[in-house]
Structure 1
């Protein structure tokens, strides 16, 4: 199997800029002529690992409490990300979003990685949370979403702690690399880009890191 350059993306399922950044990165990658030689892996990160899932609390209420701002300010914040998302063709419905812990979702994504379906699962989870207002901490909902994508052995997540260590390992790696916020894009374990940057920024990073990776690969093959 041909070796590929890795782009690792630390992100959380309830992070609006992670979805926006995903779209911008995807646009850059789609226009890259050597995109078939790039492997994209989503790494686990929790913005708030201690959050308790609460289907009776709005995201605006949660933001107001957690950030110490007024409810109207929190509403302004959600409207801002909604407007930014719209520019990327995403129809956020933040008024329907469910306050939820994302650890189970990350375990599902780790399972999806082993089955070659992580890209589809990541997109489905983001869509479910930001657009459909689904509780992405509910195992019944997660099972249904996983089935849509074609995942198998999802019951392992329900009955055991399978893939919990993988989630924790990603989170530890993010701390070791000094990642404090997401999305965070790491190209070939050399270059990092923080935030939902413009598409052209991602395009430049992909091109530059790929050229260096290609050169390193050639030197390795030649034994230099």
Structure 2
């Protein structure tokens, strides 16, 4: 059975959702028979390449919040991430266009190193003081993931390399009705939206394995997710977090 996960490196709930999904998968009896495929989704595809800026500034602009409110929102997400055992820094982190990251991830998939690069990119973006919007940093991460340095740099230097693959993933997301990420598609029959708790993923996998309905594809479940233009929902008290 295949699970496809649409996500973006800039999305904190994708970072958290990946960890929760992996915990849910670990508790699933047939976990060794599950193929996991990560697919591309840009939160803000209209953002120009090289147009980067502090996350706090983005939050104040998109949510019309004060700097203090934006920092409180980041602290909330950080505490949720840390509860999952994930490093998360709230200061000095940038956001920007992620198309180059997705292109490089497709190279990594072609070379059998996708999971390694994805984990490194998430950690660099959310846990370390390394900007994934810097092409030199991306090249370094590619080498750390086991990719050839010259090949990775060549892909990053060629805007067309793996561009079609990224756009194909994004078209599929639109066709499936995914308007926010993370978005999980199980066996091309069922969908789960948002960074749900681990036990929800375990239950979803069990139900899909047994052929029972979960959430129709395209449905927007009540869970933390990031939507168009980079906006990321912060759950209210009582919601999944």
TM range (shorter): 0.7 to 0.9
Residue 54 of structure 1: how far off its partner (Å): 5.0
Match of 1:154 in 2: 152
Of the three residues 112, 115, 121, the one matched with 1:119 is 115
Match of 2:239 in 1: none
For the residues of structure 1 that align with 2:128 and 2:202, how far apart are their CA atoms?
30
- Alignment CA distance shift 1:19-1:117 (3 Å): same
Q: Deviation per CA, 1:104-141, whole angstroms, max 9, x where unpaired?
A: 11011111111222111111100000011322122211
Unaligned runs of 5+ residues in structure 2 are 213-241
For the residues of structure 1 that align with 2:131 and 2:13, how far apart are their CA atoms?
19
Match of 2:221 in 1: none
Q: TM-score, normalised by structure 2?
A: 0.81
Match of 1:110 in 2: 106
Match of 1:65 in 2: 61
Determine if the alignment matches structure 1 residue 181 to structure 2 residue 180: yes
Match of 2:30 in 1: 34
Q: Name which one, 1 or 2, has greater alpha-carbon Rg.
A: 1
Unaligned runs of 5+ residues in structure 1 are 214-224
Match of 1:168 in 2: 167
Question: Which protein has the bigger helix share?
Answer: 1
Match of 1:197 in 2: 196
For the residues of structure 2 that align with 1:135 and 1:157, how far apart are their CA atoms?
18
Runs of 4+ aligned structure 1 residues displaced above 6 Å come to none
Alignment size in residue pairs: 208
CA contact (8 A) 1:96 1:132 kept: no
CA contact (8 A) 2:71 2:90 kept: no
